[in-house]
Amino acid sequence: MSSVIHAFETQNRLPMGQRSRLLRWATHAALLLLLAAFAIKGFIPGWRHLNSDFPNYYLVARLYRAGYPLQRVYDWTWLQREKDHQGINQGLVSFMSLTPFSTLPVMPWCSLSPLEAKRRWLVLNLAFAIVVVLLLSRITRLGWEQVALLMLLAFLPLSHNFVFGQMHLLVLFLITLAAWLFLRNKHFLSGMSLACAAALKIYPALFLIYFVWKRQWRAAVGLAAGITGVCFISLFMFGQEASTLYLRKVLPAGLRGETIDPYNVAWNSWTALLRRLFIAEPELNPAPVAHLPLLYAVLQPLVHASILIAFLWAIGRQRDDVERTKIEWATFLFLLLFLSSQPATYHLVALIFTAALVVDYLLLHKQWVRSGLVLVTYCLICAPPIRIFHAEPHGWQNLLFFSRLAAMSTLGGLLLGILSPHSRGAWKECLGFNRTRVAVLAVILMTAIGFVLTERHLQGQFDNYRSRIATAPDELFAASPAPTSAGVLFNRMIPQGYTVRSFQNALSTDLSAGSGDWFHPTVALNTDAAWAENATSNSSRIVRIVVDRSGQTRSTQIEVDDAQEPVISRDGRYLAFLRSVKGRNSLWVRQNRSFADVSEVENPREVAGEEYNVHEASFMADDRLVFSSKRDGRFRLFIATPAGGDIKELSLRRCSARYPAASPDGRWMAFSCDQGSGSQIQVTDLEGRQELQLTSGDCNSISPAWTADSKHLIYATDCGRGLGLTALAQAAVFP
């Protein structure tokens, strides 16, 4: 590292023609070594394998091109099923936290095979990397070799972008282009470039804070106009439902760090650290220091407000020279990553921009020690997190698992020192009573507002902890409960995909076998069989699973082809299921082969056509079917008979109702009612005169299923967890 610093120093002291051959050889040798390592660990593995992230973008782009409605792409199991039907060989897919626009860059290649499309995307990413190097060499006084060396020192973020086929090199290119335009006084176009980056990843939109703070109104208008245009284009391309779902649920969850496992130490963020320390979750964080949600609600906004105000104070409001502007851009981009709630390793590729501008600024001002410290810290941030052997992320030991956050804090301190005044008089002016008072009041106000919003969001989130069932350490997803006489069947997520799991007598057993993913188990009374959907390439099928007394799978048999989301009637006489055409579902029913002579089994009958686009269905006690369908902007419940014919709406108070479940005694209907930012379980009598809300909180409780005595409901809830990553809980409806 010292040789790299010395090379940078030498370049700034001597003209290019006078650099020694030894230093040029050392720079080129380091470049070749890092390039070889990047090719072996990054580009070649990304070229050969799909890995985890590129299929997320590719799949949704392919569905959009095929005419599928995109309002369900944030549904974990729906997207996984479509992945199977598209024949994508990938364990898990998810579009959670991604913007609809993030599908556009890969859309030109979605007609190709997934791996071939990824290869085209990787070649384009190499072009982005080259252009970034060239732009940064124009913005700074560093040569392209030094900028390339800084890029390759971000070895892990850069490699992960190629291995996973991520979008962050494109975002880095757009941010770098915005800075280049800004420094050439093309402020409006600079804001527009940042808006394009924000359409892919939200955080560049927060440059609006910087522009307003610095009174750079043309850039602010360009960014605001670009974001407005992005919203209108999203409505036009992806539809109102998909766009509003993202803005109403996905984006707020992402800002809170609740899209994917909010307790994962891999995020190495302030939000994740405070959650690990002060919020318990039975499966994802069973052993914090203490379960103190109110303390979290204070500390989380306090830490973020203090950091934001400190950096804005250091940046200042005055218009500055070009060199000062460069360091401010570099610092503000770092600040956005520093405050991010869930920054994955590949997000940190944006620090290449920060490192290049900061090192260039320090070498210009001959601050050799600081430049060395910045480079060392930059390398630590971009290196794998330091792991302490024999330590477990429990209690205060969680602090040992946030080494990257510590390195980010160190770099933040260095940047504050660079931006801060360097004379005693300037310090006195900055620390004057009025400016200090304004800064303190701003922190207090932001903390108070953040506390109110966070405390309100957390209310009711932890009420179901004591009633959780089928819990297992680090269980990320459990859904679609189907109570049995001895326990419950449910969907479970594993790294290889989705399975059907049986939980009885405190023991868990996987029932599904064979290829593909397994969804939506269903059971009938007094039988040793269960039915589930098996999604494979091109289509889904309903499979009957027979289990023995120990809960092990004894045999499987295909019941219906081209069918999904099975529902069995209580007496086992009828089997209902959905059939899908480009994402729109029709409801079908047939006699159950297992409870009738094969010769008497009729062909399936369509009960509700595609115009209803049925989402969920279940049988009532008298074998009628109740299903959910969207009408006039909200979901409603409808009742139909297995023989088909008239379909009648179930009278409910105005509520967007999904996941209907009729009680075995035929008296009650449970469903999930969408209440703005969350969905809650409600129960009503079939006459619609009496209603009871069982759950609460700014979270989602869905998929209720009755126990045989009609007194309890088992449901799936993401309260205290990531959006859509549900666990199972039980609620007593009637004592």
d(C-alpha 437, C-alpha 439), whole Å? 5
**Residue where the block lists tokens 């971009």:** 382
181 residue type, one letter: L
**Residue where the block lists tokens 């290049």:** 356
Give me 674's structure tokens. Answer: 């969408």
The highest-confidence range among 354-363, 418-427, 463-472, by mean pLDDT, is 354-363
Task: Please name the residues in contact with 274: beta carbons below 8 A apart, sequence gap of 6 or more.
Answer: 296, 299, 300, 303
- pLDDT value of position 422: 64
- CB 157 within 8 Å of CB 348: yes
Q: Kindly give the residue spans of alpha helices, DSSP state H, lying in 214-292.
A: 217-238, 240-245, 251-256, 270-278
DSSP element (H, E) containing 30: helix 21-38
- pLDDT value of position 600: 54
DSSP conformation class of 285: B
**Cα-based angle 459, 685, 641 (whole degrees, multiple of 5):** 120
pLDDT at 4 > cutoff 50 = no
> How are strands ordered across the β-sheet holding 691-693?
656-662, 668-674, 679-685, 691-693
What is the rounded average pLDDT of the residues 518-545? 89
Q: Kindly give the residue spans of alpha helices, DSSP state H, lying in 281-402.
A: 293-315, 322-339, 351-364, 368-381
- CB 106 within 8 Å of CB 121: yes
- CB 688 within 8 Å of CB 651: yes
Task: Please name the residues in contact with 512: beta carbons below 8 A apart, sequence gap of 6 or more.
Answer: 499, 500, 518, 532, 534, 545, 553
Q: Give the residue among 496, 484, 492 at the shortest CA–CA distance from 510.
A: 492
Would you say how long the chain is, in residues?
A: 735
pLDDT at 469 > cutoff 80 = yes
If DSSP codes are grouped into helix, strand and coil, which group holds residue 433? Answer: helix
Q: Give the residue among 116, 139, 52 at the shortest CA–CA distance from 90.
A: 52
Task: Please name the residues in contact with 200: beta carbons below 8 A apart, sequence gap of 6 or more.
Answer: 99, 101, 102, 105, 167, 170, 171, 174
Instruction: Summarize pLDDT for 368-401 with one digit per residue, the tens.
Output: 999 999 999 999 999 988 877 777 889 999 999 9
d(C-alpha 371, C-alpha 422), whole Å? 17
pLDDT at 550 > cutoff 70 = no
- pLDDT value of position 304: 97
d(C-alpha 533, C-alpha 561), whole Å? 10
Give me 400's structure tokens. Answer: 């040992």
- pLDDT value of position 369: 92
722 residue type, one letter: G
Work out the number of other CB atoms within 10 angstroms of the CB of residue 393. 17
Which DSSP string corresponds to 58-107? HHHHHHHHTT---TTTT-HHHHHHHHHHTT---S----TT--GGGGGGGG
- Residue 641: Cβ-neighbour burial (10 angstroms; 0-12, 13-18, 19+): middle
d(C-alpha 273, C-alpha 278), whole Å? 9
Sign of CA dihedral 603, 608, 614, 618: negative
The highest-confidence range among 401-415, 586-600, 673-687, by mean pLDDT, is 401-415
Instruction: Summarize pLDDT for 622-634 with one digit per residue, the tens.
Output: 889 999 998 877 8
Work out the number of other CB atoms within 10 angstroms of the CB of residue 449. 12
pLDDT at 16 > cutoff 60 = no
Question: How far does Cα 229 stand from its chain's mean position?
Answer: 24
Rg (CA), the chain: 28
**pLDDT confidence of 471, banded at 50, 70, 90?**
confident
- pLDDT value of position 661: 94
If DSSP codes are grouped into helix, strand and coil, which group holds residue 711? Answer: coil
227 residue type, one letter: I
- pLDDT value of position 147: 94
**Residue where the block lists tokens 């992320």:** 393
- CB 132 within 8 Å of CB 169: yes
Expressed in percent and rounded to 5, the helix, strand and coil fractions of the chain are 50, 20, 30
**pLDDT confidence of 11, banded at 50, 70, 90?**
very low
How many angstroms separate the Cα of 344 from the Cα of each of 103, 405, 629? 19, 12, 37
Sign of CA dihedral 492, 497, 500, 506: negative
What is the rounded average pLDDT of the residues 488-492? 92
Work out the number of other CB atoms within 10 angstroms of the CB of residue 282. 19
- pLDDT value of position 380: 95
Task: Please name the residues in contact with 632: beta carbons below 8 A apart, sequence gap of 6 or more.
Answer: none
**pLDDT confidence of 551, banded at 50, 70, 90?**
low
- pLDDT value of position 3: 44
Instruction: Summarize pLDDT for 208-252 with one digit per residue, the tens.
Output: 999 999 999 999 999 999 999 999 999 999 988 889 889 989 999
- CB 702 within 8 Å of CB 688: no
d(C-alpha 4, C-alpha 197), whole Å? 32
In words, the CATH class of domain 465-732 is mainly beta
- pLDDT value of position 7: 47
- pLDDT value of position 316: 86
pLDDT at 8 > cutoff 50 = no
**Cα-based angle 342, 461, 493 (whole degrees, multiple of 5):** 60
pLDDT at 614 > cutoff 50 = yes
DSSP element (H, E) containing 128: helix 114-139
Task: Please name the residues in contact with 92: beta carbons below 8 A apart, sequence gap of 6 or more.
Answer: 52, 80, 493, 495, 497
pLDDT at 20 > cutoff 70 = no
- pLDDT value of position 296: 97
Which DSSP string corresponds to 561-588? ES-EEEEE-TTS-EEEEEEEETTEEEEE
674 or 455, which is more confident?
A: 455
pLDDT at 431 > cutoff 90 = no
- pLDDT value of position 554: 67
Sign of CA dihedral 190, 192, 193, 195: positive
Give me 264's structure tokens. Answer: 């994962």
- pLDDT value of position 594: 60
Q: How far apart are the first and last CA of the chain?
A: 69
Domain spans, the chain = 1-247, 257-458, 465-732
- pLDDT value of position 595: 57
Among 101-110, 269-278, 511-520, 570-579, where is mean pLDDT lowest? 511-520
The highest-confidence range among 207-211, 502-506, 662-666, by mean pLDDT, is 207-211
- CB 211 within 8 Å of CB 317: no
Instruction: Summarize pLDDT for 66-76 with one digit per residue, the tens.
Output: 999 888 999 99
The number of CA neighbours under 13 Å toward the Cβ of 561 is 2
pLDDT at 678 > cutoff 90 = no
d(C-alpha 726, C-alpha 728), whole Å? 7
- CB 509 within 8 Å of CB 501: yes
What is the rounded average pLDDT of the residues 138-161? 94
> How are strands ordered across the β-sheet holding 712-717?
468-469, 727-732, 712-717, 701-706
Bridge partners (DSSP) of residue 631 are 634
**pLDDT confidence of 429, banded at 50, 70, 90?**
low
pLDDT at 420 > cutoff 90 = no
- pLDDT value of position 46: 94
Average pLDDT, rounded, for the chain: 89
pLDDT at 12 > cutoff 70 = no
- pLDDT value of position 118: 96
pLDDT at 537 > cutoff 50 = yes
pLDDT at 27 > cutoff 50 = yes
d(C-alpha 324, C-alpha 310), whole Å? 17
